[in-house]
């Protein structure tokens, strides 16, 4: 009995430490609005490092958004 209490306490403390370490990083989101786009059906990153986005509208028009 004398050994089980310290062992149980050590297990509980180690679990608490693991839970603190395993916390995910804080994530923040920014909302930006875009005007002039009607019925967007797809949003694609240019993928070339320019930070451009291509927005495909339902009527077939592709718009370029330079952030």
Q: How many domains does the chain have?
A: 1
Q: Is residue 32 part of a domain?
A: no
**pTM attached to this predicted model:** 0.51
Q: With 70 as the cut, is the pLDDT of residue 22 above it?
A: no
The per-residue pLDDT for 41 is: 95
Average pLDDT over residues 15-25: 67
Q: Is residue 17 part of a domain?
A: yes
Instruction: List Cα–Cα distances, 23 to 18, 26, 28, 50, in angstroms.
Output: 9, 9, 15, 33
Average pLDDT over residues 33-43: 89
| Cβ neighbours for 43, distance < 8 A, ≥ 6 positions apart | 53, 54, 55, 56
Q: Is residue 16 part of a domain?
A: yes
Where in the sequence is the domain holding 55, given as residue range(s)? 4-25+37-66
Which is more confidently placed, 49 or 34?
Answer: 49
Q: Is residue 31 part of a domain?
A: no
The per-residue pLDDT for 23 is: 66
Q: Is residue 8 part of a domain?
A: yes
Q: Is residue 49 part of a domain?
A: yes
Average pLDDT over residues 16-28: 71
Q: Is residue 30 part of a domain?
A: no
């Amino acid at each position: 009995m004398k050994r089980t209490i310290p062992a149980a306490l050590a297990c509980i403390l180690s679990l608490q430490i693991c839970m603190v370490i395993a916390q995910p990083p804080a994530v923040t989101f920014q909302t930006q609005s875009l005007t002039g786009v009607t019925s967007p059906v797809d949003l694609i990153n240019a993928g070339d490092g320019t930070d451009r986005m291509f927005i495909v509208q339902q009527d077939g028009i592709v718009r370029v958004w330079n952030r």
